[in-house]
Structure 1
Amino acid sequence: MAGAAAVDVPAPAATNGGACCHAGAKGPGYATPLEAMEKGPREKLIYVTCVYNGTGINKPDYLATVDLDPASPTYSQVIHRLPVTHIGDELHHSGWNSCSSCHGDPSAKRRFLILPSLLSGRVYVVDTATDPRVPSLHKVVQAEDIAEKTGLGFPHTSHCLASGDIMISCLGDKEGNAAGNGFLLLDSEFNVKGRWEKPGHSPLFGYDFWYQPRHKTMISSTWGAPAAFRTGFDLQHVQDGLYGRHLHVYDWPGGELKQTLDLGDTGLLPLEVRFLHDPSKDTGYVGCALTSNMVRFFKTADGSWSHEIVFVGCYRCKTTESPQLDSARNARIDN
């Protein structure tokens, strides 16, 4: 199981024939994470991406629907499997077509689950609203269409935007070179619009990203070149410079790269980017996979961004054959 998305099962339709909307109605999600925690109903279903890559089983990946309702006779069971159309996609992260970013738009509906395929480059769109317990395939955005119009490949993280567009980080070009990475935009009908970032403002490597509109900032992280990781992790590739150690700070929503934060050897392979839940705060965290360190990023008094290591995960480690990794792992032991 590679990832999951929760869904609130819609309430039954009104029986009086009237519209469900009313004055003051809002769009999907909640105004703040705190409101979601206090007012959000318990999810009754969860969708989980399930991957066969590397198992020796020659079948398409699938989306599993799991029953989370304690009152249900099928509680905690997989109640449906939706296979995708090809073998070898490697479904990875998932996202929604609309979410709390569209909270102010009553016309927006959280209906479609977006499933980027890391290895094949396809993007699957799944209808979860017609029958939440039995989701169905709505559309496939083909890798060839994405590559032809944007040069992008290896899609990873999907986020909905307040505009109705969908933004997906892509980790390289179709050949697996990191130099071709960037951010894909799909419109609300899941057609390829182009790249989000301005020409010449692509990151060094791609992985995750998150935006903070109140600070007009998007921050992305850096995993590595697809040509390296798609064949399995090799420590030599780190020394060869095929993996990242930076955070990229973009102007939001303009797409201009403003800063690159070098995390050094103590920040190798920074992955998921998370701002604090309070949307007014100008700080967040990223975990660095290879060094097991947590990095805090934050805005400074002059408006630029900086970082600090706030947790050293691998405190004392055995020596490896990599001087670079030894240095990273054992940094700050005596501090």
Structure 2
Amino acid sequence: MAPPLAGGFSPHPSVLYISSPCSTLSTSQPTPAKQTASCTSSSCTSALDHTHPEAFSMDRCRTQCYEYPTCPDVVKVPREEVAYVACTYRETCNDQPDFLATVDLNPRSSSYGQVIHRLPMPNLKDELHCLGWSAACSCFDSSTAKRKLILPSLISSRIYVVDVGSQCRVPKIIKMIEPVDVFWKCNKGHLATTHSLPNRDVLIANMGDAAGNGKGGFIVLDGDTFELKGNWENECEAPPTGYDFWYQPRHNVLISSAGSVPRRAGRGFDPDDLKKGVYGRRLNVWNLSCRTLTQCFDLGEDSMPFSVKFLHNPNAAEGYVACALSGVIYRFYKCERENWAVEEVIRIPAKDVSGWIMPKMPAFISDLIISTDDKFLYVSNWLHGDIRQYELSKNCKPRLVGQVFVGGSILRGGPVTVCRDEELKCQPEPLVVKCKRIYGGPAKLQLSLDGKRLYVTNSFYSTWDKQFYPNLIREGSAMLQIDVDTEKGGLTVNKNFLVDFGKEPNGPCLAHDIRFPSGDSTSENVA
């Protein structure tokens, strides 16, 4: 059996089964089994596409991975020319509003790699964090207009709706939902990941309630008017914590992660919070059409399941979840028609260190994305400082084929000394791009549709940025481009590309999520 990691992180998942919509969860052994929950409502019709019989016949338990064709139109999509980046001034001692940056990504442009427009928010200290589209594309068809960008706020719980279709380089705010409406109508707050649903409504995951206590679940916006409709799930089924989610309509399933308790994690990372329920441990499986919680996986105390992604192929009933604190990535997959299972496929070992907040430093996997052809998986290790590229092989065991360091806490010459490292022979060197020293660690990733350019920002969450990377607060964020070898695997920093958010007119700011109006590897959902 594998040993637990620092802080008592357990690597062995158990399964929680739901016997009724409001039942108490009970823990069982990791062996998958059929759950007893079922949908009996006549109005609860399946979202499964019955023209795809393979969706019903997949018995995936301990069998070879699902084989599927890649989308032939991905490579035909034009190269990304602009990016929208969420930027915040919170915790920078600069009382300026957050803003949505428009970045020029056209290498033939005179403003390549520069912020060409800034859309300031009308309020202070929102902490723009995740961005999401109001509509999804089918098979990455760029003719499908994504005209509205949804900007939920992690701290204020305010929601902005931004029009990027009228003038893609000069977006504008067209609607704002105030926190009081979210608090009173939904008893939710601390908003995170956003996706559009098959019925065009917009679903936003939340991390807590209005007081900052842990409370998972989702709120719903009308896909046409963007009015707040209410909660998505039944009140009694809201998980203890929440953050990210993804869904597959043809399998009528939505899977969500855990995150952390906002009120406690919002004060910074405190080792004393370990083993106290501050950091989540559950992976939740939902019936998409019924909006009911059907199955849960306990991935270990303080594992903090964070980033969730399905494969892009609409028939594939599998995906991956990255646990931030345990450094483990699990593959989840469908065994039978109503049963899902998980298995550990990647483990990034903690490092024995001195000069840090704990004697062992976890990788802290802050993001996970999958290429549109489902060939590669990418992860960002915010504390260790590296980005990893794994090949998704047919035997379900991802193979490490690329790695590059773009910052982190274990750099040579820094305050942290690595005493024992299972992977590296020496501490990596600091990264300098276009004469700028890169502080912080890789936080948020975005991949071009052709899979050849990986973009990364280095702000995870302003409070934690200030705690672990104080130089990042002073110098500001950076957005880097990583060149990807899509044939043999491999990652290389493009030394000719740098978006320096330390040179903003209102002072250095922190940059997080990235979106492309032409489509990207995280906002697309093929129905």
TM-superposed deviation, 1:122: 0.2
Residue 284 of structure 1, aligned match among 302, 319, 328: 319
* Whole-angstrom CA distance in 1 between matches of 2:291 and 2:336: 23
Q: Are the structure 2 counterparts of residues 221 and 82 from structure 1 closer, same or farther at C-alpha, using a change threshold of 3 Å? A: same
Question: CA offsets per residue over residues 230-252 of structure 1, 9 Å max, x none?
Answer: 12122222221111111000001
Partner of 1:123: 159
TM-score where L is the length of structure 2: 0.52
* Whole-angstrom CA distance in 2 between matches of 1:262 and 1:325: 22
Question: CA offsets per residue over residues 139-181 of structure 1, 9 Å max, x none?
Answer: 11111111111111111011011212100001111101114x3
Question: CA offsets per residue over residues 38-86 of structure 1, 9 Å max, x none?
Answer: 2211111100011111211111111110111122221111101111011
Partner of 1:70: 107
Residue 78 of structure 2, aligned match among 35, 41, 46: 41
TM-superposed deviation, 1:299: 1.4
* Whole-angstrom CA distance in 2 between matches of 1:290 and 1:259: 23
TM-superposed deviation, 1:109: 3.8
Residue 182 of structure 1, aligned match among 201, 208, 217: 217
Residue 154 of structure 1, aligned match among 170, 187, 190: 190
Partner of 2:304: 269
For residues 1-335 of structure 1, what are the structure 2 equivalents within 5 Å? 34-100=71-137, 109-179=145-215, 181-187=216-222, 188-265=224-301, 268-301=303-336, 303-314=338-349, 317=352
Q: Are the structure 2 counterparts of residues 101 and 262 from structure 1 closer, same or farther at C-alpha, using a change threshold of 3 Å? A: farther
CA contact under 8 A between 1:239 and 1:324: conserved in structure 2?
no
TM-superposed deviation, 1:103: 8.4
* Whole-angstrom CA distance in 1 between matches of 2:172 and 2:186: 28
CA contact under 8 A between 2:350 and 2:360: conserved in structure 1?
no
TM-score where L is the length of structure 1: 0.81
Q: Are the structure 2 counterparts of residues 278 and 103 from structure 1 closer, same or farther at C-alpha, using a change threshold of 3 Å? A: closer
Q: What SS does the corresponding residue of 1:86 show, helix, strand or coil? A: coil
Supply the AA of the counterpart residue of 1:291.
S
Q: What SS does the corresponding residue of 1:264 show, helix, strand or coil? A: coil
TM-superposed deviation, 1:317: 3.8
Partner of 2:370: none
Mean CA deviation greater in 285-294 or 36-45: 36-45
* Whole-angstrom CA distance in 1 between matches of 2:360 and 2:290: 36
Question: CA offsets per residue over residues 177-205 of structure 1, 9 Å max, x none?
Answer: 114x3200000211010111123111121
Structure ranking higher on relative contact order (CA contacts 8 Å, 6+ apart): 2
* Whole-angstrom CA distance in 2 between matches of 1:254 and 1:35: 33
Question: CA offsets per residue over residues 7-59 of structure 1, 9 Å max, x none?
Answer: xxxxxxxxxxxxxxxxxxxxxxxxx9724522211111100011111211111
CA contact under 8 A between 2:352 and 2:360: conserved in structure 1?
no
CA contact under 8 A between 1:102 and 1:164: conserved in structure 2?
no
Q: Cα RMSD over matched residues?
A: 2.6
Supply the AA of the counterpart residue of 1:182.
G
Q: What SS does the corresponding residue of 1:149 show, helix, strand or coil? A: helix
Q: Which runs of 5+ in 1 are unaligned?
A: 1-31, 327-332
CA contact under 8 A between 2:254 and 2:288: conserved in structure 1?
yes
CA contact under 8 A between 1:89 and 1:119: conserved in structure 2?
yes
Partner of 1:15: none
Q: What SS does the corresponding residue of 2:74 show, helix, strand or coil? A: helix
Q: What SS does the corresponding residue of 2:235 show, helix, strand or coil? A: coil
Question: CA offsets per residue over residues 255-290 of structure 1, 9 Å max, x none?
Answer: 10001101114x701111001122211111111111
Q: What SS does the corresponding residue of 2:191 show, helix, strand or coil? A: strand
CA contact under 8 A between 1:122 and 1:142: conserved in structure 2?
yes
TM-superposed deviation, 1:323: 11
Q: Are the structure 2 counterparts of residues 93 and 37 from structure 1 closer, same or farther at C-alpha, using a change threshold of 3 Å? A: same
Q: Are the structure 2 counterparts of residues 280 and 317 from structure 1 closer, same or farther at C-alpha, using a change threshold of 3 Å? A: farther
Q: Which runs of 5+ in 2 are unaligned?
A: 1-68, 363-421, 423-527
